[in-house]
Amino acid sequence: MDGLKLSSDSLLYSHGGKPLIPLVTTSHLISKPRFKPTTNCNNFTLTIGCRSYAGVRVGIFQDVKGLRTKRFKRTNASASIQPVTTEVMEDKPKDLSVSGDSIRRRFLEFYASRGHKILPSSPLVPDDPTVLLTIAGMLQFKPIFLGKVPRQVARATTSQKCIRTNDVENVGKTSRHQTFFEMLGNFSFGDYFKREAINWAWELSTKEFMLPPENLWISVFEDDDETFSIWHDELGVPAERIKRMGAEDNFWTSGVTGPCGPCSEIYYDFHPQRGYSDMDLNDDSRFIEFYNLVFMQYNKKDDGSLEPLKQMNIDTGLGLERVARILQKVDNNYETDLIYPIMEKVSELAMIPYAEAEEHIKTNFKIIGDHIRAVVYLLSDGVFPSNIGRGYVVRRLIRRTVRIGRLLGIKGDCKGNIEGAFLPAIAEKVIELSTQIDSDVKSRAPRILEELKREELRFVQTLERGEKLLDQLLAEALLSSKEDGNSPCLSGKNAFLLYDTFGFPVEITVEVAEERGVSIDLNGFDIEMENQRRQSQAAHNTVKLAVGDTSELTESVSDTEFLGYNTLSARAIIKGLIFEGSSVNQVSEGNDVEVLLDRTPFYAESGGQIGDHGSLYLTQGESKRKTVVKINDVKKSFGNIFVHKGKVMEGAIEVGKEVEAEVDAKLRQRAKVHHTATHLLQAALKSVIGQETSQAGSLVAFERLRFDFNFDRPLQDNQITEVEELINGWIGNATNLDTKVMALTDAKNAGAIAMFGEKYGEEVRVVAVPGVSMELCGGTHVSNTSEIRGFKIISEQGIASGVRRIEAVAGEAYIDYMNVRDSYMKHLCSTLKVKPEDVTTRVESLMEDLRMARNEVSAVRSKAAVYKAATLVTKAFSIGTSTKIRVLVENMDDLDADSLKSAAEYLVDTLEDPAAVILGSSPGEGKVSLVAAFSTGAVKLGIQAGKFIGPIAKLCGGGGGGRPNFAQAGGKKPENLSDALEKAKTDLVAVLSEKSI
């Protein structure tokens, strides 16, 4: 093979004497023996693979048409690097690259060339209360499929980020299950239908991606003869490779009711040599389904019947990782270039070469590669770890990754800090690969890495607590086995508790238990795991669509024209009325109503800002008006239709009538002030605590503002003061705001900040306070910062891991707040008879007096308790013959816990050693206090106060513990105190009788 030059760093190949670019590093070949990238060389594409023969690494170059194969062998790993140049080739051939990025690009370009608009991926947090996370490419088009939003384009294509966790236990164990994946899709909104969708899917698969037709199988719905005919009669797919399947596999439904229809899927056959007999498309070892075509043509009604949709749609999904697996000729989705570099980083940190690892180790590599990928994109989209909802998904994936990393022996940050976190090092690789998936991930990298570090280190402490609990549970299992004579066994419930609550791997539980001679009830563990899986799968696992009674209304009502940036009143025509969920023509006095207008000055709730309040009037004569509807909220629905919610105050309201819509100007001003103040607040926070902080949510209301932001610790008092001073300084500068509409790309290039959770079109509204902030925002704002008048933070607190919340007031609400606080101060000064500046000193003095008085009262109570205890000494009785043990168990009525303690200490000191004292009381409604005091001699006999008091307290609905000689406990059931003390006496007598023999 002419022109071949080898070195330890690269393999270089030249063809026809013309040097070309390096193909692949030898380290790449060695570390990824099953990954086969391709590159173009003149008129043919080279596929690179490698394997070992007798210790010699052999690589294979093969052209696309299979015309010739050239072999080389790596004979000298230390050969010097030869200089090469890159030739600019003429007549560049069609790009047949099979990298994940190129597959995504080629898919989108394929459909763009067929009239589809390329739209961006929506966030992983959907604008849909029925779904926890974005689980499908069609989710962002749900309102269009429902007919509630008019289509903006007839055809669209996307690469959608998706998260599914219902099969998380299968991740890494199968070749195709993932939590994070990209779904490539093409969509038709009442435009083309089955024939075009099927033909293009076949063309994409066999011509664009050059998949051999003989390796492709098709599934169709059992009754869908039309689809079968297109595949067989028009495209020539043999009938024996088209399988009719039932509704469970090939009929898509969105829920109990709503849009639905048959679907058709394309499968790739990895082993066509096995023939057609005993063929099962669900056989993962042979087939993978990579393209699903949904023909949305029916509406499923409440009675289960199907009616044709007026607008038939196409919804398709092609799994990017699955196609990459096929084209890159690797064994599973994880070994594609979309995920493998992440696993390679894990392999490096674990110091275990992937190619040499045992299968269970490879499975762990795959789990980490998948989970960290999911977590990075979730964090980027604003989902932070918590114990509920989406936050729990992130926390669970992080914890699963951490515990598996520890199982692999990864310790510390792999940079010398044994106490550090290793997740950020792996996440950096995910961020590096994110450019073509989501360009915002890199800009959010500091926040992502910091959150991962914080969550991992916190969880490591939890794991350590789990280890202590495991030791305790194993000790109990061994003790129990001695008592009942059975083999020691840890219950499946306890093993699952360690796994689920403390993130303790069951593999480690089994290993540690076996070392201690304890078995694990793995069947019981599996039952607990299955119960959790079913609960998880039942929650938010499908996209719910429904066609309601207002569908016809949305077809006749166009988007509402918003006039509210420039005016607070306007004449408008009533285009629709909704009463109790149904479209009506008239609503009478006294009833709640939702009004749809053709145009409106009312702002509809969005971007954190609440909807305007106001009124709809009817004009009577030249100057008289009567209030028809009092508006108390406005929201967007059915896309961009404003729904004015209110109550009919007088007469009746009818569709087609003209009304005068007027916004409450004072409330609008309050909202404007607070909205602009949130922009100033974000700018101030970035200045004071760092540019990496960002918004995580907001509320702009009339009486206050709320701003959530990413930060891992409370703000210090001086930081809060600095933030307030900055904002009030900007307010005092009386700066005019600059508002303009521009292209989204231009806005981002100019440095405009996107508001959390908002979706943006190609053109956006940019609101800037020159020199201070610039944000993409559709809300209403003041014209000049001086309108804000003043700003005050009223609270700052944590609401989730790594998320803080500030509540503040500005403008008129600021004045109201200061007036109320001033009134409180005047009243306090009057009561204390001091000047405002002396209030703090006076209050501190009063607190000290109160503390001293309480101490005196406590001392008096203790003395009274001791006096009362002295009268009980004669009630003590003795147990034993050779060694007499003095025992006293008594109810002390309503003594508080401190007095009870004093009484018990007096009695155990007064009674002759050895002695045991148990006292109880009910100091208040629903309260029980218990105390156990054992003398030194009693403790030497083997009884301990701390262990003895716990079971007694349980009878009173509580618990407690303490030292061997002294323990306290509490409870909530005073009615059980007598029984509890009786049990204490009985147990003491039984135990001490045995000890004193």
Q: Which positions make up the binding site for Zn(2+)?
A: 675, 679, 777, 781
Q: Is the peptide bond before 914 cis (omega within 30 degrees of 0)?
A: yes
Q: How far apart are CA 584 and CA 575, in angstroms?
A: 11
Q: How far apart are CA 518 and CA 733, in angstroms?
A: 73
Residue 626 Rama label (left phi>0; alpha psi -120 to 50; beta): beta
Binding residues: 675, 679, 777, 781
- Triad 685, 690, 693: Cα angle to 5°: 70
Segment (H or E) for 919: strand 915-921
Which residue type sits at 419? Answer: E
Lookup result for tokens 């306090």 = 828
* DSSP string across 600-660: ESPPPBBTTBPPP-EEEEEEETTTEEEEEEEEEEEEEETTTEEEEEEEE-SSEEETT-EEE
End-to-end Cα separation, the chain, in angstroms: 97
* DSSP string across 601-613: SPPPBBTTBPPP-
Q: How far apart are CA 614 and CA 30, in angstroms?
A: 71
Residue 826: is it exposed, middle or buried by C-beta count within 10 angstroms (0-12/13-18/19+)? exposed
DSSP 877: E
Crossing angle (nearest 10°) for helices 445-484 and 423-432 = 140
Structure tokens at 948: 């003895």
What backbone torsions phi and psi does residue 264 show, to the nearest 5 degrees? -135, 135
Q: How far apart are CA 529 and CA 493, in angstroms?
A: 9
Crossing angle (nearest 10°) for helices 506-515 and 445-484 = 40
Compute how many other C-beta atoms are within 10 angstroms of the C-beta atom of residue 184. 25
Which residue type sits at 134? Answer: T
Q: How far apart are CA 658 and CA 574, in angstroms?
A: 6
**Residues 565 and 159 sit within 8 Å (Cβ to Cβ):** no
List of residues 6+ apart from 748 with CB closer than 8 A: 754
Which long-range contacts does 104-108 make (Cβ < 8 Å, 24+ apart)?
Answer: 104/159, 104/182, 104/184, 104/320, 104/436, 105/436, 106/208, 106/209, 107/157, 107/159, 107/184, 107/204, 107/208, 107/318, 107/320, 108/157, 108/158, 108/159, 108/184
Q: How far apart are CA 888 and CA 566, in angstroms?
A: 84
Q: How far apart are CA 270 and CA 272, in angstroms?
A: 6
List of residues 6+ apart from 172 with CB closer than 8 A: 334, 363, 364, 365, 366, 367, 370
Q: How far apart are CA 953 and CA 199, in angstroms?
A: 74
List alpha helices for 190-266, DSSP H.
194-203, 225-229, 247-250
**Residues 876 and 990 sit within 8 Å (Cβ to Cβ):** no
Segment (H or E) for 165: none
